[in-house]
Structure 1
Amino acid sequence: MIRWNADQLALGEGIAQWCEELSSGHLEGDAEGAFPWDKWKLIQRSGILGLPFDEQWGGLGQDLLTTMHVLERLGTGCRDGGLNFSVATHLVGVGVPLQRFGSPELKARHLPGICSGETIGAHAISETESGSDALAMRTTATREGDDFVLRGGKSFITNGPVADVFVVYARTHPSSGPLSITAFVVERDTPGLVIGPPVATMGLRTAPLSELHFDDCRIPASAVIGRVGSGFLVLDHVMKWEILCSFVISTGQMRHRLDRCVEYAKERVQFGSPIGSYQSISHKLVEMSIGLDTARKWLYDTAVRLTRGENVTRDIAVSKLLASESNLSSALAAVQIFGGSGYLAEYGLEKDLRDAVAGPIYSGTSEIQRNRVAAMLGL
């Protein structure tokens, strides 16, 4: 059990104070399906975007566990799931790899904007054809003198329509091995980068999604993050942070949902008794509580092991499975507990359910995570 110190608790309380304003109009925002620029300005003012980054870039210099604690409080208090997802993508998709692997020049150019939120970040990994098989990506980066030329396209780019800077993974060697991929920083106004229009989605609608196309997109060799051929190493680091940070937000959402459902189960009377007195309802609440506690334990225990430098391949896979699937089952149970009201948009529970459906898909599908655990069992 982690015991947060006074500074960590203060940071959590600090973001909680912004959440009522961040949540205002979230139902209307979901229906509109547009990026909430006014809420992003509040996110900038809150300081949350600088959490894990060095103070020299305008960050707060906090460790992974503290960052997760504050993000969990964001999930608990902010009802705009798409905005929460945009925040996590911005932090881990661009800022984390730049700080860990970027050259001094790349850090100086981009991290101050990432920390302040003046620059919005996105990362481009997935492609329509390769799907979960990242090593099968077809986007290429060909060396031409002092430049690389990107050709191909990426799909499912969260923050794509509004991002100012992208971390793009592309093939720099024709082989299919881990050393064939390189990570690059690509700025929005780079000639040859074509950003597709926003794509309508089932949930997380305020986190805008688009495709990217690279039509002889020329970038300097200095835009390489790390070294040529080290993209898979960069991606592995990013995915660990992405799973821990994105899904700890989900546990915050699960906490809010559970508290709301318990309160409703005590107040809602049917057949002369509160519905919480019936096992069919109370058992759902118990499962929601167990799912929340289990997901939180795995996420935070994995983060502790990661900071110690231990191998967390299995831990990350199990954490992602538990958190994403528990969040989805929790959201469905909440709709069922509220009954007809849960089906109405005005209660926000059906929105939670639509948002939760994405969890078992992004950051490596549940099937991929189970395959990974199976492989470590020798299967």
Structure 2
Amino acid sequence: MDFSRSAEQQERYARMSAAARELSSASPAAGFSRDSWKETAGLGLLGAAVPEEHGGAGFGALDTALQYEAASEGGADTGMLFAAAAHLFACVRPVLEFALPETRKALLPALCAGELIAGNAMTEPESGSDVSRLATLATKVDGGYLLDGTKSFVSNGPVADLYVTYATTDPDGGYFGSTAFAVDRDSSGLVAGAPMEKSGLAACQAGEVRFTRCFVPDDRVLGSPGQGQLVFQTSMQWERSCLFAIYLGQQERLIQRCVSHVRQRRQFGKRLADLQPVADRLADMKVRLESGRLLLYRACAEIDTGQDPSLWVAMAKLAVSEAAVATALDAGRIFGGRAFLTEYGIEEQVRDALPATTFSGTSDIQRQLIARGLGL
């Protein structure tokens, strides 16, 4: 086994990290804007996992994850990276893998270039972890479907131009009871709600999207009718692996900041670095980071080699998300009272890390998937 990055990967990683560092210094994060979205597109992140013929970079899962990790380590805003990842993995990948050729041709170049923003419309007010019972209905009519229902916590929802939307087409169909659609924002009967007030990931706006007899033509069905769960689970394999590379970069950044802090800060006549409990805490932070990194890279490698990545993806998502929260909290303990001051940015990192154990499938859901992979 080769656990090292190739020279090409190292060069790309360093280039992305430097570009993100320069960008974050020039324009500090202040929520979402179309300009910041275009800058993110300029880094190549919006189409990283899309073939060059469609306007992307043509990377596989591992190389895509490395780009997101590098951007995060370089200091790119976590919320904006999350918005970009939700756009790419939950929306662009389904269009790439399941849309009709003419639909791919019409949408993918603009999605990769940042001219269009995509939002993932799966979660509903009464369907969070249980995505098998969607209240949003899609009724077949001549030439397409009529969508009725409400989606909540739609990442990029308030600003999206396109929504990858899941709706029930056969209430008695079980696994084959839902269908995925690519729905334009200007479709009649679609109303995007205002941004929700969130405590973290501020640059990724989220909100409700309501459908009232919203017509979607047949050529905007992703896959075949009844394949909604397949489309969703395929996108989640990418999201639960590649997106969480953002949190590898965030942890790396936090650890570096903590190491610098404890070398300079003194208590009890010693550097904090010379106090064993502080050193132990940093050692635990490093072990969590590297353990999650190995699992995430393995999950991406399974995707790239065409294996069933389900078990590795669930383990990676669980390990990295839990590590992100624990490491952000540990950074708070190391910085002490300064962690509560916004000028140090630690409290922001905690707020950005906390949702990681909830979105893309909660930690409890990942444990269920792991248990299922064990044959339980």
1:333 equivalent to 2:337? Answer no
How far off is 1:72 after superposition?
Answer: 0.7
Q: Which runs of 5+ in 2 are unaligned?
A: none
Give the superposition deviation at 1:53. Answer: 1.1
Counterparts of 1:370 and 1:204, CA distance in 2: 25
Q: Distance in 1 between matches of 2:252 and 2:59?
A: 24
What amino acid is aligned across from residue 66 of structure 1 in structure 2?
D
1:159 to 138, 143, 156: 156
Counterpart in 1 of 2:253?
Answer: 256
- Is the partner of 2:244 in helix, strand or coil? helix
CA distance in 2, matches of 1:184, 1:350: 38
Distance, in Å, in 2 between the alignment partners of 1:344 and 1:330 is: 18
Match of 1:343 in 2: 340
Partner of 2:132, secondary structure, is helix
Q: 1:178 aligns to what?
A: 175
Question: Please, what TM-score do these two structures have when normalized by structure 1?
Answer: 0.95
Residue 333 of structure 2 aligns with an amino acid whose one-letter code is Q
Structure 2: distance between partners of 1:185 and 1:63: 23
Give the whole-Å Cα distance in 2 for the aligned partners of 1:13 and 1:114: 25
Alignment of 1:298-309 (within 5 A): 298-309=295-306
Contiguous gaps of at least 5 residues in structure 1? none
2:61·2:303 contact (CA, 8 Å) conserved in 1? no
- 1:191 equivalent in structure 2: 188
User: What does residue range 119-134 of structure 1 map to in structure 2 within 5 Å?
Assistant: 119-134=116-131
* 2:65 counterpart of 1:39: no
Give, as a single letter, the amino acid of the residue that structure 2 aligns with 1:149. Answer: L
Are positions 1:235 and 2:260 aligned together?
Answer: no
Question: What letter corresponds to residue 16 of structure 1 in structure 2?
Answer: S
Aligned counterpart, 1:321: 318
Which letter maps to 2:8?
D
1:132–1:368 Cα contact (<8 Å) kept: yes
Structure 1 residue 9 corresponds to structure 2 residue 10: yes
What is the alpha-carbon distance in structure 1 between the residues aligned to residue 253 and residue 56 of structure 2? 28
What is the match of residue 66 of structure 2?
69
Tell me how far apart the structure 2 counterparts of residues 28 and 54 of structure 1 sit (CA, whole Å). Answer: 30
- Name the Cα RMSD after superposition: 1.5
Q: Classify 1:232/1:360 alpha carbon distance in 2 versus 1 (closer, same or farther; 3 Å).
A: same
Q: How far, CA to CA, are the matches of 1:370 and 1:166 in structure 2?
A: 29
Which residue does 1:22 correspond to in 2? 23
Per the TM alignment, residue 27 of structure 1 is displaced from its structure 2 partner at its CA by: 6.7
Amino acid at match of 2:249: G
Q: SS at the partner of 1:122?
A: strand
Supply the distance in 2 between the matched residues of 1:165 and 1:184 (Cα, whole angstroms).
Answer: 10
Q: How many residues align?
A: 375
Deviation at 1:26, TM superposition (A): 7.4
Q: Secondary structure at the match of 1:214?
A: strand
> Identity rate of aligned residues, in percent?
38
Using the TM superposition, give the Cα deviation of residue 25 of structure 1 relative to its aligned residue in structure 2, in angstroms: 7.8
Aligned-partner Cα distance in 2 for 1:157–1:372: 24
Q: For 1:56 and 1:307, how far apart are their aligned partners in 2? A: 19
What residue in structure 2 maps to residue 87 of structure 1?
A: 84
Give the residue type in structure 2 aligned to 1:339. G
C-alpha displacement at 1:245, in angstroms? 1.4
The one of 219, 223, 234 equivalent to 2:220 is 223
Q: Structure 1 segments of 4 or more deviating over 6 A?
A: 25-28
8 Å contact from structure 1 (residues 139, 152) kept in 2: yes
Preserved contact between residue 27 and residue 346 of structure 1 (Cα < 8 Å) = no
2:356 matched to which residue of 1?
A: 359
The verdict on how the C-alpha distance between 1:36 and 1:173 changes in structure 2, with shifts beyond 3 A counting, is same
Q: Which amino acid aligns with 2:237?
A: K
Specify the SS of the correspondent of 1:168. strand
- How far 1:10 moved relative to its partner? 3.0
Partner amino acid, structure 2, of 1:19 = A
Q: Which amino acid aligns with 1:17?
A: A
- Render the CA deviation track for 1:306-351: whole Å, top value 9, x for unaligned: 2222222222111111000000000000011001111111111100
Range with bigger deviation, 85-94 or 34-43: 34-43
CA distance in 1, matches of 2:116, 2:295: 32
